[in-house]
Copies of this chain bind each other. A is one copy, B any other.
């Protein structure tokens, strides 16, 4: 693997576990398998490594949202899709999504680092809010609006429905980030949540 890339990888791992201030360049170097001074052939400072990680995050985020704007935010076809699936399949999708966010290596480290650094970096705070509040909220609101218009769901405030659907998923995810051994418990609650949400709001 490309050393320059591997440095970012190791650094993100360490930053996501301890936070920027508790990680020393020597530790990053050790993880990469080189000595600390060699890092400086690739990046001009520790801060530079952090900034490169940020840049990568920005790129992934933009890629992801522009992709969403092509396919995901096509609520009409998405809601058409939901129309034809059973509650069981809805649960399967919810759990799949939850598991991806929880286990995808990059997603997980990215989220933990944002969590740790959110109060000392305004840009990270915004990135966090976008990824874990604004975007899910926007997408699911649109989707639910379609389902309501099609008469499949009760005519309630779609924005609040989205909040009530997504917030429990998010909360359970934060619990698992902290205490991974609670994942079975979380999955159990997640499934019940989706079924109950569906039962309460379906027309």
Contacts and interface: CB of A to CB of B under 8 A. Distances in A.
Interface of A: 16-22, 112, 115-116, 118-120, 125-126, 128-129, 133, 156-157, 159-161, 163-164, 166-168, 170-172, 175, 177-179, 182, 189, 192-193, 196-197, 199-201
**Copy number in this complex?**
2
Nearest to A125: B178
Contacts of A199: 156
B21 A179 contact: no
Contacts of A167: 164, 167-168, 170-171
Interface secondary structure of A, over-half rule: helix
Most chain B CB within 10 A, of A21, A129, A159, is at: A21
A14 B96 CA distance: 39
A71 to B, nearest CB: 26
Given A18-B119, A163-B171, A167-B171, 6 more contacts: A19-B19, A115-B118, A115-B119, A119-B178, A125-B179, A163-B189
A128 B115 CA distance: 14
Given A163-B193, A178-B125, A18 B120 contact: yes
